[in-house]
Structure 1
């Protein structure tokens, strides 16, 4: 058995996750964890599975037959560090062009690895413009000064609110 990551993208349709799950089961794979989303009519996701090496080709073939999906099957990266900590960051403020780039640049300056990033824009009630929000999980091996990190993100714009929590 080998840990593998299956990436999937294609037009969304009813029953798509069930079809992928059936293909994984048919290939004698064990579904460990997954992350999926629906964006602008498309389905995208990742599945971590344990799969016998001899069944890799059949899983790829069966997934390609599903709804014109674009798929990739890669070996999982087993290297994990025990000396890391994770910090959950929530950022909220008025949306504007370049906000994701500004936030990720601030995180890079602190040598943080982004392991999860979920962003969205929603209509702000009674404001008439879009409200940007990001839920971010970062990983660091250093003792980071979260006060300085918060100040760096809040310094991007006057209206940004930042909440930090160690995981």
Structure 2
């Protein structure tokens, strides 16, 4: 752990409760749509694969996220634990957003995460597919920001 990094609990190895909490904390961070804040959850040299983009390190992650949220308006995300083992967590997710032209999308995907001992994510591999939806097909209606605790998750929504 470098002097500039702090512990980001829960720490690996993850039990089920720790993995569920880590997933929710990641969801909350991404729903903030704050690239600088989100990037603090990753190691300085974190490696990503996000679709066909390969950000490496926090500076590139900030740039990637800033561009993402300039294009993806009304962004709302739900993540759900799929599996965990030691320092790794697998997640499935869906998020809804609209583009500049007003077309709504639901993006579905899976992520594989690997964590350093300090709880920062050192690897993130994401596979994502976009589905165009009508506005009346949207399922994520909470105010922008953190998903309320009483809002259904992916399984409850049948996703």
Task: Give the TM-score, by structure 1 length.
Answer: 0.26
The higher relative CO (CA closer than 8 Å, separation ≥ 6) is in 2
Task: Give the TM-score, by structure 2 length.
Answer: 0.27
Higher strand share: 1
